[in-house]
Amino acid sequence: MAKNHVLIVDDDKNVRMTIKRVLDNENMTYKEAKCGGEALELLGSEIFDLVVLDINMDDMDGYEVLSTMRRNANDTPVMFLSGRAEDHDIILGLGLGADDYTTKPFKPRVLAAMMKAIIRRNKNPNQPSHYLIRGPFKFDGKTMKLYKDSVEISLSSKEIALMRFFMENENRVFNKEQIFESIWNENIVGDNTIMVYIHHLRNKIEDDPSNPKHIKTVWGLGYKFQGD
C-alpha cells in the first residue's frame, strides 16, 4: 500500500521539523515548502494526500494559497496550522474550503490524529472523492485530467478550471459575470475572454462544436453545462 504523502507549508523551519517528525512516526512521506510560491509549484507537479498550511508567510498568505488551489481545480485536502486563533480567521479558512483548522502551539499526537482523519475522510475506494463524472466525461481532480469516453482530452489550466466549474454545477445557468468571477477571481468581465475560452473548450469536448450538446448557450442569460 502506498504511503500517504503530505505537503508541509510553513516559513518557520522549527515548525516544519516538528511536523516532519510527526510524519516520520506515522510512516508518511512528505515534501516541504517555506513559502506559498514553492507550495504552488509542488502542487502543480505532484499529488499529495494532504496539505498542512500556515497562514502568515512572506510572499503570499495561506488563504491566497488555498484560493489559488481551488481556482486551479486542485481539491487536495488542506489543514490550516496557524498561530492565528481568532474566530474570524478560522471561519475564513474553513469558508475558503479548508478541511480543518488547528492552532499553534500544537500537540504532535493530536496533530497526527487530525491529519490521519482528514486523509481517511477523503479516501473512499468505492467512489473516489476526486472524481467528477457527468455523462461521458470524467474529471480526475488529483491528476487534473479530463476524459471523454475514457479518452483523455488535453486542456489548458484555465480550460481545466472552467470545465470543472461546469461539471460541478451541471444544468445551472451562469452569466458571464459569474463565470469570470469564479474562474478568474475578478469582477471586471472580459466578454471576449469568456467567449474565446468557451469556443476553445467546445472545440475540444463537443462532437459538433457548431451545434454543442454539452456547453449550451442560454440566450440572454449565459451558459450551462449538460453531461447527458
51-90: pLDDT as tens digits: 999 999 988 999 999 999 988 878 899 999 999 888 888 9
137 plus 114 within the same structural domain: no
Q: Mean pLDDT lowest for which of 124-133, 164-173, 213-222?
A: 124-133
- Whether 87 and 179 map to the same domain: the answer is no
Identify whether 126 is part of a domain. no
What's the pTM value of the predicted model, to 2 decimals?
0.56
Shared domain check, 148 and 84: no
Mean pLDDT comparison of 5-19, 69-83, 178-192, highest-scoring range: 5-19
Lowest mean pLDDT among 23-27, 32-36, 39-43, 146-150: 146-150
Q: Is pLDDT above 90 for 210?
A: yes
**115-134 residue pLDDT tens:** 998 998 887 544 445 678 88
- H-state helical runs in the chain: 13-25, 36-45, 62-71, 87-95, 108-121, 157-168, 176-184, 191-205
What gap in Å lies between CA 40 and CA 101, rounded to an integer?
Answer: 20
| pLDDT value at 101 more than 90 | yes
204: domain range? 131-225
Q: Say whether both 159 and 196 belong to one domain.
A: yes
Task: Answer yes or no: is pLDDT of 1 > 60.
Answer: no
Q: b/e map of 162-193 (b: 16 or more CB within 10 Å)?
A: bbbbbbeebeeebebebbbeebbeeeebeeeb
Residue 55 belongs to some domain of the structure: yes
The CA angle 98-96-115, to the nearest 5 degrees, is: 5
By the 8 A CB rule, do 173 and 219 touch? no
Residue 59, classified by CB atoms within 10 Å of its CB into exposed (0-12), middle (13-18) or buried (19+), is: middle
